[in-house]
Amino acid sequence: MSTTPFAAASEDSYFGFGFQSSKGTGVAPTQFLAYVSAVELTHGEQHRKIREAGSSQTVARTVKDSYTPGARCAAPIRADLAAAVMAALLGADSVSGAGDPYTHTITKDAATDWISFEYNNNDNTIERVIDGFFVEVEITAQKRSNGPELMIAAVVGGLDLERQSSATTESYESDRPFLRSDCAWTVDGTAETNVEACTIRLRWTFDEAMLTDSVIRANAVKIHFEGEIELTQIAGNTGEREKLAYINTHYLNAAEDGTGTATTEKVFTGSLTLDANHSEGAASADRQFKVEIPVVRWTDAQYTGLNPESTEAARLTRVGHLENNPSGEDITVTAQTPTSGAFV
Return the domain boundaries, the chain.
Answer: 14-337
pLDDT at 215: 82
Examine residue 101 and say whether the peptide bond preceding it is cis (omega within 30 degrees of 0): yes
Residue type present at position 202: L
pLDDT at 7: 79
pLDDT per residue as tens digits for the range 137-171: 999 999 888 889 999 999 999 999 999 999 999 99
DSSP string, 161-204: EEE-SSPPPP----SPPPBGGGEEEEETTEEES-EEEEEEEEEE
pLDDT at 218: 81
Q: Are 156 and 70 in contact (CB under 8 A)?
A: yes
Record the pTM.
0.92
pLDDT at 281: 79
What does the longest C-alpha to C-alpha distance in the chain come to?
80
Which parts of the chain register pLDDT below 50? none
E strand intervals along the chain: 14-19, 31-32, 40-42, 45-50, 61-67, 70-76, 91-96, 102-108, 115-121, 125-141, 151-163, 183-187, 190-192, 195-207, 221-234, 269-278, 287-303, 315-322, 332-337
Q: Cα 133 to the chain's mean position, in Å? A: 12
